[in-house]
Structure 1
Amino acid sequence: MDIPLETLKERIKGQRVVKYLLDCRFKGNVYLVGGAIRELCLNNTPKDYDLALSDRKDLNKIEHLFGKGVFVLGKKPIQIYRLAKKDISIDITLLDDTIEKDLSRRDFTINAIAFDIKNNVLVDPLNGLEDIKKGLIIYPSKISLIDDPLRMLKAIRHFSNLKDFKIHRKLIDSIKELKHLIIKTAPERIKYELDRIIVSPNPYDGIKMMEKTSLLFEIFPELACMKNLDIEKRFVLETFGHTIAGFMYLNKYNNIYQLDAKNLRDVGYALLFHDLGKPHTFSYDENKNVVHFFYHERYSQKIASDIMERLRFSSIEIKNIIKLIQNHMRIFLISNNESTEKAIRRIVYKMEGLTPSLILLSLCDMYGSSGGQENPSTRLVHEKCDELLITYAEWKKEPLPRLVNGYELIEIGFKEGPQIGKVMNEIRERQIAGDINEKEEALAYAKQMLRQNLNNTQSHL
């Protein structure tokens, strides 16, 4: 986007954070730097701000100005001082050299622009404004990737988030060359960038660029097994190929189902991981000329769980993503003319609040396989998804009640521990199936299980 410099300056000075700073007398120079200027060039409103200070004493002035103290992120010699107040987030760094030197060490030229608040001057030594105009993502030098390998993933995150931007050929080649360095990065930082790629406007483009540079296989070597299976077996319907293609439909169908960012992110990861078990369960029936992947979802959830532990996913994220993987075949299995209303209810009762997420995952999986084409099978799946949504809306008004809790099981003789969870899950499954409907029935079943456990224990003595 081509924007006159004076217009950009006025746009910068119109930001609430900058207005505060303009009214303050600073000892040194205070610069607005990084992504905020890029966003203002693109006529977007920045979500956060980065400042660079030439004098440490001005840090105290900024704390006083905003009525909030900063806290330190990172370790010496590179430290960031973060100020967070309501809807304002400011990251502050202290310059150890000139602003030009600081900008030359930044990740990409489009983020290497500064505005000198005191002197009303734009500082652009790397022609970042011109690269924004061209829609070009390029680094100041290859050493910037070596200094912080996460920048390889950041480049792809920008590519998937910034409309009409492309990654410079030289940067793509450098990512291919240096991809192995990504494993030196803290897993939490890797996951943060992956999250932002998945919930971006163009997750498919981002994932495909990760595949093109092989960064995808450095982070998820397990996905390479799927790609190798496709090549070895010469699949027309590729296991890896349809998984990646599914990301083309993530935002398209979320525009209908309106999942929030967290649930959309979890669906994205479930899509990426849902068929990881297929290379381990491949079998071929020569008589029928049919390929099978029996119980592949069980293998997929185990492999996915190991990946998520490795990348430091939260326990609730792991729980939800695993539940989606476990059940990703369910909608397809009932998508026939013989399925009953009870089968629909069973899925909703099983998935509860994750029902819309399962629907979105199923549609991405389905259209990734069909190449986006409609056929009688896809139309039947859509019908079942509509029925599921109706039943889900009813469930939200009157959720299936929990018939017993852990304390009640302890009262009838169970000891604290994992056995209680197993019994409650078994009761829940029978409640979903319609075999148990009342608390008394649930407690009677629990007592029966308790007696069985005691008998089994005594038989082993």
Structure 2
Amino acid sequence: MIMDAENFLKEKIGSLDIIKELKKRQIRGDVYLVGGSIRELFLCSIPNDFDFAITDEEDIKVFEELLNSRAFILGKKPIHTFRIAKDNKNIDLTKIEKDIVDDLLRRDFTINAIAYNIKSGEILDPAEGLKDLKNKVIAHIKKENLIKDPLRMLKAIRHFSTLNSFVIHDNLYKDICELKYLIGHVAPERIKYELDQIICSKNVFSSLKVLDTTGLLFEIFPELFVLKKFDDEKTLIPAVFGHTVDAFRYLYPFGNKYHIDKQSIKITGYALLFHDLGKPQTFTYDREKHVVHFYYHERFSEDIALSIMERMRFSVNEMRNIKNLIHNHMRIFLISSGETTERAIRRVIFKMGDLTPLLVLMSVCDMYGSSQGKDNESTERVLGVCEDVLSMYKKFQEKPLPRLISGHDIIGLGYRQGPEVGRILAEIRERQIAGEIKTRQEAIDYVKAILKTNVFQ
């Protein structure tokens, strides 16, 4: 069976244009195709990037001539990797230190430790990665490889999230549980890159469960461990941390239903992960009514999330959008609690702008995380409001409301130039969206009324 797999892999690799061209060239040393591209070919995916291990750096010139592009040194590793970027594809070339078997056995997982010799067409598989590929198992080569680069623990879970139907080997799971504390030695940017892939994957819920049960999640985000302890102490239904994780069951399905792009799924996912971080600090219990309250928890959650995002090197744009979603994550629930007016829906859209579909997605996930996926009168009402919000948002996208008045107009009416002008414009826009101001004259009259009463003075 392994021989069949090997022959299948040889056929897939041999059919690649770059391999065909390399076989025609004069190569001084040994050149091996290695790493993730072999895994992807075995799984019948088309790799976008290729990794090669070489014994002679002079052969880099062969790749440069073949691709008509110059190589540059990538990163600051002890072992230099040379990259050639061509037509949105990356070709990485790494010089072998000792021999190819040693090189393969220093890698992260068995499924990434397979090589193809360009000259001989031979498959090298010292860690039995082909067997694990056939059985869909993510197994590490040895514990020392995780210690050498602790990010590999998170990469294992990223592979679990993105490779269809793969499982994590028991020994790898145990070693992650034991070595999880080492993730603190990894640069936050590297951690975030892996988390981004996990959050955007179809298998995000199961992956978060693994991050939870191994404890790796709390090494990265100790703030989430506070939520888990809060659940243990208060035993609330729904649980705060528990419903947050359960909410991720619905992120991909409803993201797909609402046609949310990958970048927006990522932003929504982080907002969902952080949205209730402030609940332990705001917990109160009304003994007379036997009711739990978390007044203004979104404000506390927003502050804690900002601290995390700064630590993890989120971009300014990511931080702004995630904070906005957290700050407003109760808004759709609030307008769903009674009779929902068109004016209320318009105000949500004005407040959220292009984040409106993301807020809808976040609300649905949060709702079903709390209801454990069960529908009831409340969920049906929220879903209806979400549909109305999306419908009106699309109408505004297709036919945006015209601008009724400008800052120059306001100054021309006698107002001083300054930040107050912007606030007046925002107020007029909100009232226009709510249907309270419909014409230019009504906008001018509104400005005159403000000037008369000195509301902004």
Name the TM-score, length of structure 1 as normaliser: 0.91
Moved more, 22-31 or 284-293: 22-31
**Where does residue 60 of structure 2 map in the other structure?**
59
Shift of 1:338: 1.3
Partners of 1:297 and 1:326 within 8 A in 2: yes
The 5-angstrom pairing of residues 407-446 of structure 1 reads 413-414=416-417, 425=426, 428-434=429-435, 438=440, 440=444
> How far apart are the structure 2 equivalents of 1:216 and 1:427?
45
> How far apart are the structure 2 equivalents of 1:46 and 1:76?
24
Q: Which runs of 5+ in 2 are unaligned?
A: none
**Where does residue 45 of structure 1 map in the other structure?**
46
CA gap 1:421/1:166 in 2 versus in 1, 3 angstroms: farther
Once the two structures are superposed, residues 350-401 of structure 1 have per-residue CA deviations (whole angstroms, 9 ceiling, x without a partner) of 2222221111111111111111111111111111111112101101012245
> How far apart are the structure 2 equivalents of 1:335 and 1:111?
50
Q: Secondary structure at the match of 1:291?
A: strand
**Where does residue 8 of structure 1 map in the other structure?**
9
> How far apart are the structure 2 equivalents of 1:62 and 1:442?
68
Q: Secondary structure at the match of 2:250?
A: helix
- Residue 120 (str. 1) matches residue 133 (str. 2): no
**Where does residue 131 of structure 2 map in the other structure?**
130
**Where does residue 275 of structure 2 map in the other structure?**
274
**For residue 289 of structure 2, what is the amino acid of its counterpart?**
K
**For residue 277 of structure 2, what is the amino acid of its counterpart?**
L
**Where does residue 357 of structure 2 map in the other structure?**
356
Shift of 1:335: 1.6
**For residue 360 of structure 2, what is the amino acid of its counterpart?**
I
- Residue 205 (str. 1) matches residue 217 (str. 2): no
**For residue 392 of structure 1, what is the amino acid of its counterpart?**
Y
Partners of 1:349 and 1:400 within 8 A in 2: no
> How far apart are the structure 2 equivalents of 1:426 and 1:184?
48
**Where does residue 175 of structure 2 map in the other structure?**
174
The 5-angstrom pairing of residues 10-159 of structure 1 reads 10-159=11-160
The 5-angstrom pairing of residues 248-263 of structure 1 reads 248-263=249-264
> How far apart are the structure 2 equivalents of 1:184 and 1:221?
15
**Where does residue 244 of structure 2 map in the other structure?**
243
CA gap 1:242/1:402 in 2 versus in 1, 3 angstroms: farther
Superposition CA RMSD, Å = 2.4
> How far apart are the structure 1 equivalents of 2:395 and 2:155?
42
> How far apart are the structure 1 equivalents of 2:445 and 2:65?
64
Partners of 1:136 and 1:166 within 8 A in 2: yes
> How far apart are the structure 1 equivalents of 2:452 and 2:29?
77
**Percent identity between the aligned chains?**
50
- Residue 226 (str. 1) matches residue 233 (str. 2): no
**Where does residue 165 of structure 2 map in the other structure?**
164
CA gap 1:289/1:68 in 2 versus in 1, 3 angstroms: same
Once the two structures are superposed, residues 208-257 of structure 1 have per-residue CA deviations (whole angstroms, 9 ceiling, x without a partner) of 10001111011111111111111111112100000000111111212211
> How far apart are the structure 1 equivalents of 2:296 and 2:87?
48
> How far apart are the structure 2 equivalents of 1:15 and 1:192?
29
Q: Which runs of 5+ in 1 are unaligned?
A: 454-461
Shift of 1:42: 1.4
- Residue 386 (str. 1) matches residue 402 (str. 2): no
**Where does residue 459 of structure 1 map in the other structure?**
none
CA gap 1:326/1:17 in 2 versus in 1, 3 angstroms: farther
> How far apart are the structure 1 equivalents of 2:295 and 2:240?
14
> How far apart are the structure 2 equivalents of 1:44 and 1:102?
24
> How far apart are the structure 2 equivalents of 1:39 and 1:87?
18
Shift of 1:17: 3.0
Once the two structures are superposed, residues 103-156 of structure 1 have per-residue CA deviations (whole angstroms, 9 ceiling, x without a partner) of 011011110001111111111111111111121111111111111111010000
Q: Secondary structure at the match of 1:90?
A: strand
Shift of 1:419: 7.2
Partners of 1:348 and 1:395 within 8 A in 2: no
> How far apart are the structure 1 equivalents of 2:274 and 2:425?
28
Q: Secondary structure at the match of 1:334?
A: helix
Q: Secondary structure at the match of 2:302?
A: helix
Shift of 1:20: 3.2
Q: Secondary structure at the match of 1:262?
A: helix
Shift of 1:70: 2.2
CA gap 1:321/1:421 in 2 versus in 1, 3 angstroms: farther
**Where does residue 457 of structure 1 map in the other structure?**
none
**Where does residue 458 of structure 1 map in the other structure?**
none
> How far apart are the structure 2 equivalents of 1:73 and 1:448?
64
> How far apart are the structure 2 equivalents of 1:28 and 1:347?
64
Q: Secondary structure at the match of 1:267?
A: helix
Partners of 2:347 and 2:430 within 8 A in 1: no
Once the two structures are superposed, residues 318-362 of structure 1 have per-residue CA deviations (whole angstroms, 9 ceiling, x without a partner) of 111111111111111122451111111111222222221111111
Partners of 2:340 and 2:385 within 8 A in 1: no
CA gap 1:143/1:370 in 2 versus in 1, 3 angstroms: same
**Where does residue 188 of structure 2 map in the other structure?**
187
> How far apart are the structure 1 equivalents of 2:77 and 2:314?
27
The 5-angstrom pairing of residues 334-349 of structure 1 reads 334-336=335-337, 338-349=339-350
Name the TM-score, length of structure 2 as normaliser: 0.92
Q: Secondary structure at the match of 2:32?
A: strand
Shift of 1:24: 2.0
**For residue 198 of structure 1, what is the amino acid of its counterpart?**
I
Partners of 2:346 and 2:434 within 8 A in 1: no
CA gap 1:408/1:28 in 2 versus in 1, 3 angstroms: farther
Partners of 1:32 and 1:50 within 8 A in 2: yes
Once the two structures are superposed, residues 167-214 of structure 1 have per-residue CA deviations (whole angstroms, 9 ceiling, x without a partner) of 111111111111111111111111000000011120001111000111
CA gap 1:280/1:410 in 2 versus in 1, 3 angstroms: farther
**Where does residue 329 of structure 2 map in the other structure?**
328
Q: Secondary structure at the match of 2:102?
A: helix
CA gap 1:423/1:117 in 2 versus in 1, 3 angstroms: farther
